[in-house]
Amino acid sequence: MGISLDGLSSGLDTTSLINQLMTAEAAPQDQLKAQVTKTNTVVTALQGLNSRLATLADAAATVAKVGSLDLYTASSSSPALSASVATGAAAGELQVVVSALASAQVGVSAAMATWPSPSTITIVGHSGTPLEITPASNSLDDVASAINGSTAGVTATKVASGVDGSGTTLYRLQFSSKTTGADSAFTVYQGSAADVAAGTATNALAVPGAAVIKTAADASVTLWKGTAAEQVITSSTNTFSDLLPGITVTAATASADPVTITVSRDDTQISAVASGLVASLSSAFVLIAAQTAVSTSTDATGKTVTSAGVFAGDSTVRGIRQSALDAASAPINGHSPGEYGIVLSKTGTISFDQAKFSAAMASDPKTTIAAIQTIATRLSAAATAASDKYTGSLTSKITGDQSQVRNLGDQISAWDVRLASRKSTLQRNYSAMEVMLSNLKSQSAALSSQLSSLSTSTSTGTTG
């Protein structure tokens, strides 16, 4: 810490004087700092608006896509079938009888202590191509492990099966196909692929004590049952994706009674999409209004201070708002968007009128949907023109302001150097002044001393 030698000769508070001078000297830098703070506040507000406009652009672009509002819901008259909507659905109805569910093949071997020698196993699937598997040993654990690690599409599980007359513990191997459907059928042979081809291999599921517990089978449903048009549709799983366009049907249980699948337009979901689009636009308008509004406050003296929002007088923001407003409120083929539930108020805000939208959908759904998509297309263009990360007008303004902040920062740094140099100069000058005053005082004291001595000497001579 430095030692203060304030006013040792002059009696002045030189540190205070220097600080006051430096405060005056730093006024231009303080103005630059204030400008940085103000510009950063504007940038933050612009970034918030840009984010909301980007969200609006994405939402509007999604709604504007062909088929985006072709939304449907599917229902079933029975728990035996469930239906869900995918892409490309259309309104309609179909009666279906669930004839059978899909199943996987399950079989068990005869009870044994170890797999018969030789240990080679061959599994033949529905394609007829044999897959030869060679376990590490004849142990049932090794056999099961080899099958589970193969590409046969079959799992093997060792299951306890009592003891034989000699007290030896016996087991069975349960074989299950990994998938359902008729094509998942398989046969397990004791022997090599060559033995299978020669007809000398043993079918492990056909020997005494072995059995096929469940056969592989497809699920099947019957359309128009009992009529001349009756048609059976099969699937390797319990799911059918081709009964109706864009509808996935899943069978839960077999049923002799017809199940009705109904597909209808989902007005609730369409309304939610339209409402969400308006809400996204309104969110941007609310932010602009909040950042433009004039507010009043009271300063420390009790005086009322009026402050305008950061967007007040900003022509770029004003132009963006007007473009979005025009996109949402301009007529469509001579009809006001208000007829479709997108209502413009006297104060320039946008709201969604559920009742009007529902009435329009009930009266003319095709025209209503087309109108919403037209508005979405216009909003997408307006919002993108403002918020595009490369060419957006708002993006460009943000980039320009950020560049200004960087330039101001460089100027502030330059002022730091300039002020440090100025302060050092003032400290040297005041120190030199104190030294000079100290020397003058010393000289004055010495001169006074000499004069006093001279006066004394003269007085003594006169007396003598």
Q: Counting Cβ atoms within 10 Å, is residue 461 exposed (0-12), middle (13-18) or buried (19+)?
A: exposed
Asked whether residue 447 is domain-assigned, the answer is no
Task: Determine the length of the chain.
Answer: 464
| 310 falls within a domain | yes
Do 310 and 169 lie in a common domain?
no
Instruction: Give me the pLDDT at residue 3, please.
Output: 44
Residue 7 lies in a domain: yes
**Same domain membership, residue 177 and residue 93:** no
Angle, helices 27-64 vs 315-329, to 10°: value is 10
Q: Are 87 and 233 contained in the same domain?
A: yes
Check residue 2 and give its pLDDT: 41
pTM of the full structure: 0.70
> 114 and 49 share a domain?
no
Buried b (16+ CB within 10 A) or exposed e, 351-384: ebbeebbeebbeeeeebbbebbbbbbbbbbebbb
What's the confidence (pLDDT) of residue 462? 56
pLDDT in tens, the chain (464 residues): 444 456 555 566 778 888 888 788 888 888 988 888 888 888 999 999 999 999 999 999 999 999 899 999 999 999 999 999 988 888 999 999 999 999 999 999 999 999 999 899 999 998 889 999 999 999 999 999 999 999 999 999 999 999 988 989 999 999 999 999 999 999 999 999 999 999 999 999 999 999 999 999 999 999 999 899 999 999 999 999 988 999 999 999 998 899 999 999 999 999 999 999 999 999 999 999 999 988 887 877 888 888 888 898 899 999 999 999 999 999 999 999 999 999 988 777 899 999 999 999 999 999 999 999 999 999 999 999 999 999 999 999 999 988 888 888 888 888 888 888 888 888 788 777 777 777 777 777 777 777 777 766 666 655 55
Residue 80, domain member (yes or no): yes
Give the residues across from 351 on adjacent strands.
343
299 belongs to a structural domain: no
- Among all chains, which residue has been given the structure tokens 């044999």? 130
Q: Judge if 133 and 260 occupy the same domain.
A: no
Task: Report yes or no on 450 lying in a domain.
Answer: no
> Does 119 map to a domain?
yes
Q: Which of 79, 28, 422 is nearest to 257 (CA)?
A: 79
| Same domain? 241 vs 271 | no
179: its two tokens:
């998938």
The verdict on 119 and 78 lying in the same domain is no
Task: Tell whether 418 is covered by a domain.
Answer: yes
pLDDT attached to residue 231? 95
Domain span including residue 185: 106-214
Can you say how many angstroms the Cα of residue 176 is from the centroid of all Cα atoms in its chain? 41
> Which residue from 89, 379, 377 is spatially nearest to 242, judged by alpha carbons?
89
Q: Are residues 59 and 86 in the same domain?
A: no
Query: Measured in whole angstroms, how far is the alpha carbon of residue 197 from the centre of its chain?
Result: 57
Whether residues 156 and 90 fall in one domain: no
* Statement to judge: residues 203 and 188 lie in one domain: yes
The total domain count for the chain is 3
Same-domain pairing of 313 and 417: yes
Residues 90 and 166 in one domain: no
